[in-house]
Amino acid sequence: MYYVYMMSNWNDKVLYTGITNNLERRVYEHKNKLTKGFTAKYNINKLVYFEYTEDVTAAISREKQIKGWCRQNKNELIENTNPEWKDLSEGF
């Protein structure tokens, strides 16, 4: 499985879109700032959206598509499945 996901910081001002083959591990890495860079700098630690596919090419394409969207479209995608912007990783 390949996951396209979006994470945010707790005040929902910053979004990060990524792809992984292990969503639990990747979210753990973000939450614990194990990789220096954008997500650590902006305290990106809340999983707000994800989708999955078995096709890595489709996942990469979808990630690029979402990254190219304006903020309003990203917000709408999140709010269609997670209107309260809850941390979806709390059940991990």
Q: What is the pLDDT along the chain (92 residues), one digit of tens a residue?
A: 999 999 999 887 899 999 999 999 999 999 999 988 999 999 999 999 999 999 999 999 999 999 999 999 999 999 999 999 999 999 88
Kindly report the number of other CB atoms within 10 A of residue 30's CB atom: 22
Structure tokens at 15: 């979004």
Which residues lie below 8 Å from residue 35, measured CB to CB, with a gap of 6+?
29
* DSSP letter for each residue of 5-65: EEEE-TTS--EEEEEES-HHHHHHHHHTT-S-SHHHHTT--EEEEEEEES-HHHHHHHHHH
CATH code assigned at 33: 3.40.1440.10
H helix or E strand, kind and range, residue 77: helix 71-81
* pLDDT for 92: 82
Number of domains in the chain: 1
* pLDDT for 35: 86
d(CA 86, CA 90): 9
Domain that holds residue 45: 2-91
d(CA 36, CA 86): 25
